[in-house]
Amino acid sequence: MSTPQLTTLPAWGKLQDHYQQVKKLHLRDLFDQESDRFDRYSLQFNELLLDYSKNRITDETLKLLTTLASESHLDDAIRKMFTGEKINTTEQRAVLHVALRNRSNTPVMVEGNDVMPGINAVLEQMQNFTEAVHDGTLRGFSGKKFTDIVNIGIGGSDLGPHMVTTALRPYWIEGMHAHFVSNVDGSDMMETLNKLNPETTLFIIASKTFTTRETMTNAHTARQWLLDHCGNNEGVIKHHFVAVSTNTAAVKAFGIDTDNMFEFWDWVGGRYSLWSAIGLPIALTIGMENFKQLLNGAHEMDLHFRETPFENNLPVLMALIGIWYRNFFAATSQVILPYDHTLRLLPAYLQQADMESNGKRVTIAGEYLDYDSGPVIWGQPGTNGQHAFYQLIHQGTQMIPADFIIPLESHNPIGEHHTILLANCLAQTEALMKGKTAAEVAQDTPDSLVAHKVFPGNKPTNTILINKLTPQSLGSLIALYEHKIFVQGVIWGINSFDQWGVELGKQLAGVIEKELESDTPAGKHDNSTTGLIDYCRQHLL
């Protein structure tokens, strides 16, 4: 096994030595010794404040980490991404989700061609279509205005627009409702269809190839549902279905008017695609102007990421702190804790964005890693999580770094709800940092219970405060995490933009699906899989 370059970098060795020196430092003591810790370890960017002071870091830690970034040629990697070089080397593709929200409209070249005219053309197509739906120019087969949008996709074609649309619920156009179907389990589709009126429902089929098994199975079920309600008149399909795809022939064969086919490009990875036509359900639900504000917020974070020195760069700092915990403290997971009900899908969205990007075991050169790559990403909205898994974070045996995210201003300022929510968010970060010592517990606790009530503290957190959750601030927040993931991939020396790990299961599923529908013996599988196939067939046939 070849040794990847990362572990040979001077900063890596210095960080290993530094870890031995600081691993027993307690955050409580650091705050006692450094009265200006918040001022030194917090940064504001537009509507966002990042407080990273409750991390197990010192000035020396940050100096060594930023040196590691420099030695990993992060600055050059950033330049290559923004200028359209093919940094997705296993698929020989550029990575240009940043071009999709390039609101300055400066040229972005790929193989000598500026991609911005094509991007702008799709944005204009989205705007025209969205406005036509909203003003009633485009209607269903019976002449009624659309009231419900159903997005049928999976992975990045579902999680991104679903998360954003949910997060921006206060901005929904009056009379418009969004629904998302991704699971091939028929219950997902039928629970959605059962509450809809076919005359006022618009379907978006989001599949680049228009062949994705789960998506197209759901799409054909929706198609038949519509036909069943309109006398099997094939001509109604063009009134109720649009496609986000590149497969013109398949879209046309489905019955969709190709004028209502929205393009995107192979340099847009699925989990980074909500900024493209994949975001059509967002635009239809919140309006195109708000969609553009989402793009603006992301673009502003792009400029910050590209132009700001590492020591003051929000995505870089969050990435480096994550590497500090993953590779030196051996933290296996990272928890995302949004204290906002509308952000309830953010942990799932970031789970895909991070784990599909950095869940890799080889370097770009194909060498096996001898260090850990991406952590497990998980989470749930507070305060629900406080009554579920915070016990483990506070008193379990693992160190689990946590990101707390909360808007300062609520869209629903009912009574004292938001003050209670904000107090809980801030209190948890303090409790995780300080803990409660045996001496403090013993003041009012029997000796037999002291050990049970001790909180070790020293649990690291980031806190992200957002003045108000708007399309613009949400765009900046998403881009912040996208770039964090990219930075970590660069330093680990892996390709964050392919996802070969999703392929094998799909291939085997195609084989097993045919065997489940057959009465001939199953093919060559291991004994367990063969036994499961046989058991299933006994109950299905």
Given a cut of 90, whether residue 25 has pLDDT beyond it is yes
Please report whether residue 357 resides in a domain: yes
Does 323 share its domain with 284?
no
Residue 284 within any structural domain of the chain: yes
In the predicted model, what is the mean pLDDT of residues 388-407? Answer: 98
Do 94 and 113 contact (CB within 8 A), yes or no? no
Q: Which two tokens stand for residue 18?
A: 């530094």
333 φ, ψ to 5°?
Answer: -145, 165
Q: What is the pLDDT of residue 484?
A: 98
Q: End of a domain among 290, 318, 349? A: 290
Q: How far is CA 370 from CA 7, 361, 393, in A?
A: 8, 9, 28
CA 424 from centroid of its chain's CA atoms = 25
Query: What pLDDT, on a 0 to 100 scale, did the predictor assign at position 61?
Result: 98
Please tell me whether residue 370 adopts helix, strand or coil conformation: coil
387 is catalytic: yes
Residue 4 has a pLDDT of 52
Q: List helix spans (H) across 262-373.
A: 280-286, 288-307, 314-323, 346-358
Q: Which residues pair with 466 in a beta bridge?
A: 48, 407
DSSP summary character for residue 266: T
Quick one: what percent of the chain has pLDDT higher than 90? 93
Residues 228 and 352 in one domain: no
Q: Residue 35 domain-assigned?
A: yes
Same domain? 493 vs 505: no
| Global confidence as pTM | 0.97
Q: Which domain holds residue 211?
A: 109-290
Last residue of a domain, one of 290, 323, 349: 290
Q: Are 122 and 223 within one domain?
A: yes
Given a cut of 80, whether residue 429 has pLDDT beyond it is yes
Give mean pLDDT, residues 77-90.
Answer: 97
Query: What is the average pLDDT score of the chain?
Result: 96
Q: What is the enclosing helix (H) or strand (E) of 124?
A: helix 116-135
Judge if 34 and 51 occupy the same domain: yes
Residues 36 and 168 in one domain: no
Please tell me the predicted confidence (pLDDT) of residue 401. Answer: 98
Give the span between the Cα atoms of 71 and 88, in whole angstroms. Answer: 21
Whole-number Cα distances in Å, 388 to 241, 242, 345, 380, 381: 41, 41, 17, 9, 11
pLDDT attached to residue 84: 96
Angle formed by the axes of helices 314-323 and 59-71, to 10°? Answer: 100
Instruction: Summarize the confidence of residues 152-159 as an average pLDDT.
Output: 96
**Looking at residue 541, what is its pLDDT?**
65
Q: Does residue 275 contact residue 100 with C-beta atoms inside 8 Å?
A: yes
Pinpoint the alpha helices (H) of 324-469: 346-358, 390-395, 417-434, 438-442, 447-453
Tell whether 44 is covered by a domain.
Answer: yes
Size of the chain, expressed as the number of residues it contains: 541
The answer to whether 428 touches 386, Cβ cutoff 8 Å, is yes
Residue with token string 């649309």 = 165
Chain centre to alpha carbon of residue 441? 40
229 and 273 share a domain?
yes
What lies within 8 Å, CB to CB, of 436 at 6+ separation is 453, 454, 455, 457
Is residue 432 one of the residues assigned to a domain?
no
- What is the rounded distance in angstroms from the CA atom of residue 540 to the CA atom of residue 383? 43
- CA pair distance 242, 153, nearest whole angstrom: 12
| 529 and 473 assigned to the same domain | no
Alpha carbon distance 204, 75 (integer Å): 39
Q: Are 34 and 139 members of one domain?
A: no
Burial class of residue 257 (count of CB atoms within 10 Å of its CB; 0-12, 13-18, 19+): middle
Q: Is 47 a catalytic residue?
A: no
Residue 145 sits in the same domain as residue 204: yes
Last residue of a domain, which of 232, 261, 290?
290
Given a cut of 80, whether residue 520 has pLDDT beyond it is no
Helix, strand, coil percentages (3-state) for the chain, rounded to 5, are 55, 10, 35
- What's the pLDDT tens digit per position in 93-131? 999 999 999 999 999 999 999 999 999 999 999 999 999
Residues 194/200/204/210 CA torsion (nearest 10 deg): 80
Q: Among the listed ranges 142-146, 175-179, 381-385, which one has the minimum average pLDDT value? A: 381-385
> Is 503 an active-site residue?
no
- Assess if residue 196 is contained within a domain: yes
Tens-place pLDDT, residues 27-51: 999 999 999 999 999 999 999 999 9
DSSP element (H, E) containing 152: strand 148-152
The predicted structure's pLDDT at residue 3: 43
Of 506, 513, 514, 517, which is the active-site residue?
A: 506
For residue 463, is pLDDT > 50? yes
Which entry of 300, 356, 482, 515 is annotated as an active-site residue? 356
343 and 479 housed in the same domain: yes
Q: What is the CATH number of the domain that holds 190?
A: 3.40.50.10490
* Of 24, 195, 387, 539, catalytic: 387
Q: For residue 122, what are its two tokens?
A: 């799709």
Is 340 found in the same domain as 266?
Answer: no
Map residue 465 onto helix, strand or coil.
Answer: strand
The angle at the Cα of 435, spanning 465 to 56, to the nearest 5 degrees, equals 60
Q: Is the pLDDT of residue 321 over 50?
A: yes
Please list, in sequence order, all residues whose beta carbon lies within 8 angstroms of the beta carbon of residue 529, skipping any fewer than 6 positions away.
Answer: 512, 522
Question: Is residue 440 one of the residues assigned to a domain?
Answer: no
Give the number of domains in the chain. 3
Dihedral angle sign, alpha carbons of residues 267, 271, 275, 280? positive
Residue 312 lies in a domain: yes
Phi and psi (nearest 5°) for 242? -130, 165
Residue 527: count of CB within 10 angstroms of its CB: 7
Among 285, 325, 309, 332, smallest CA distance to 461 is for: 325
Query: For position 515, which CATH number holds?
Result: 1.10.1390
Phi, psi of 387 (to 5 degrees): -100, 20
